[in-house]
Structure 1
Amino acid sequence: MKIVLLDGYALNHDLNWQVLRQLGNCQLYDRTPVDDDAEILKRIGDAEIVLTHKTPLDDAVIRQAPKLTYIGVMGTGYDVIDLESAKQHQVTVTNIPTYATAAVAQFTFSLLLEITGQVGLHNQLVHEGKWGKTADFTFWDKPLLELQGKTLGLIGYGRIAQKVAELGHAFSMKVIFYNHRPRDNAQSWAKQVELADLVKTADVISLHVIQTPDTIGLINQTTLDQMKDGVILLNTARGKLVDESALATALNKGKVSAYGTDVVSKEPIQTTNPLLTAKNCYITPHIAWAPLETRERLLTITVNNLKSYLRDVPQNVVG
């Protein structure tokens, strides 16, 4: 059996892939051009098993891969796969839905705490000598914000959002959430509301939905206009959930007081992205998933997904 990993650099430069090599003849690539179907097909060759992180597998690739029977997406989101084509060609697709729950929730709050506590800024100012030159024992260069009593609004209420809700509750925030279907298992202190109500009432809004045609541009001029003045917006889901031009304008006008995001619409970020010059915009390079422990878990589940498929009892199947 031939196994091809198309883009393992983010994982494999410090992990041991021997456990995967034990399952078949493995060809591991650090990176594969994402916009070159011919090269993707060349690398897949006659492999039955393909693992991908961000390299897209569209219909043109899937239907021309002669022996392809299984695609393992090494992440939670699977928007890089043409699921309809995979179904038509009897290709099983799996993802990894739970590996980064703790890490992404932690990182979501890291963004929020940076925005409200301004730790990075004041650490920089101290090292630049500003504190040592003040007449008082204390100084702050930007307003600081207390979270207690603020309303945290979560759009989506899957595993990550539920973990973020727990963190918000621990900070004595009021927690509300919108989900496309009722959540009967929500914590007693978390209230499900309609999207319009959440947008209008939350002091902090955090995005936790997958990217679909229905969710692309979910945060747009209309929803931004409906938000509270001074709202904080967080995004550790997908960049395309947000109309970045509209948001940049809202940041520059002060309608949105701050945006903390680990994702943008096109990655790596382009120099023309309007968020780069927007006020109070905190951008990290898609690292919420990247702690070593989290990536080790991802590798373990990737291998277990493949083992289950080979036993004809596939798990974490999507589509």
Structure 2
Amino acid sequence: MNIVFLDRDTLAPQIRLREPGFAHRLTSHGRTAPPEVAARIADADIVITNKVKVDATALAAAPRLRCIAVAATGTDPIDLAACRQRGIVVTNIRQYAVNTVPEHTFALIFALRRSICAWHDAVRAGRWQAAGQFCFFDHPIRDLAGATLGVIGDGVLGQAVAAIGRSLGMRVLMAGFKGRHDQGALYTPFDRVLAEADVLTLHCPLLPETRHMIGAPEFAAMRRKPLLVNTARGGLVDEAAVGPALQAGQISGAAFDVVSVEPPPADHPFMALLHRPDFILTPHVAWASDEAMQTLADQLVDNIEAFVRGQPVNVVA
């Protein structure tokens, strides 16, 4: 079996990728640019990719290809329809980030709710010494206990975030689908969540119906000036509307781990917000604890071995 890993650098170097338990040749590329994909997978039986796109054109150049093992949960980079036509099995990784993403989400929430970055910058600038006493009060500090947490997305990660919120004494609202009011007592209508949340966190997939689900009209409906946190997918929020919402005081802070274009170009709206103490941008690392990445790597090889045994698991297509 000829296995080609198109973007090994998307896993940290300390993460061990064990050898599959069958005769194989593994070729790992740190990165693969779009024009290089077709040539690199031309003789592959199995392709591993995290974020490198494998489209119909590349698939047409790979007559031996039988399986694409995605080293992530999202399968956006893969032309699934073309794979189905060819009978190529596509697998993905599941439930590996059940601790790391919720923890990162709350790290961002705590940092904003308690103005951690602003306090650190103030101390670094000598403000503590200038205050002349044991503390000073330049920035707001708010408890989470008693606050309302709005969670958009009720999958494993959304439920884990909700559980942490409850353990901290927060009132948790699980948002219903936008525009729907008939989803039962477990869900709160989307527009009501916007109006009542002190913290709003996104944990849903990027689909045509969820793209820009938060934009200028939604910011205007946020009566309690909540924190907005997105560790899910870039594109769920109209990114050009975030700066104006912060400037107008419609939200009290925003933290993003994902952007619609990664890495964001120099003229991306977020790059003009990095000086603000109420805005945090991390480089798509909510998923990337050592523990989570090792779980991902182990499951990745498990998926490949299961496919070769003729018993594929975690099949997307």
1:177 and 2:184 aligned: no
The whole-number CA distance in structure 2 between the counterparts of 1:12 and 1:20 is 19
1:250 and 2:245 aligned: yes
Superposed displacement of residue 88, structure 1: 1.2
1:106 and 2:109 aligned: no
1:79 and 1:212 in contact (8 A); partners too: no
2:84 to 87, 91, 99: 87
SS at match of 2:232: coil
Q: Which residue number in structure 2 is paired with residue 293 of structure 1?
A: 291
The whole-number CA distance in structure 2 between the counterparts of 1:124 and 1:232 is 20
What TM-score do you get using the length of structure 2 for normalisation?
Answer: 0.92
The whole-number CA distance in structure 1 between the counterparts of 2:31 and 2:266 is 22
2:17 and 2:298 in contact (8 A); partners too: no
Superposed displacement of residue 191, structure 1: 4.1
Query: Which segments of 5 or more consecutive residues in structure 2 lack a partner in the other structure?
Result: none
2:301 to 303, 308, 315: 303
1:314 and 2:312 aligned: yes
Q: Which residue number in structure 1 is paired with residue 271 of structure 2?
A: 276
Using the aligned pairs only, state the percent identity. 35
1:44 and 2:54 aligned: no
The whole-number CA distance in structure 2 between the counterparts of 1:200 and 1:64 is 52
- Aligned pairs (5 A) from 1:1-319: 1-11=1-11, 13-20=13-20, 24-33=24-33, 35-36=34-35, 39-180=36-177, 191-278=186-273, 279=276, 280-319=278-317
Superposed displacement of residue 173, structure 1: 0.6
Runs ≥4 in structure 1, deviation > 3 angstroms?
A: 20-23, 179-184
SS at match of 1:124: helix
Superposed displacement of residue 316, structure 1: 1.1
Superposed displacement of residue 139, structure 1: 1.1
The whole-number CA distance in structure 1 between the counterparts of 2:214 and 2:82 is 29
1:15 and 1:296 in contact (8 A); partners too: yes
What TM-score do you get using the length of structure 1 for normalisation?
Answer: 0.91
The whole-number CA distance in structure 1 between the counterparts of 2:119 and 2:52 is 39
* CA pair 179-96 structure 1, distance change in 2 beyond 3 A: farther
Deviations 1:183-203 (A, max 9, x none): 99xxxxx94112222222211
1:122 and 1:140 in contact (8 A); partners too: no
SS at match of 1:259: strand
Superposed displacement of residue 175, structure 1: 0.5
2:20 and 2:305 in contact (8 A); partners too: no
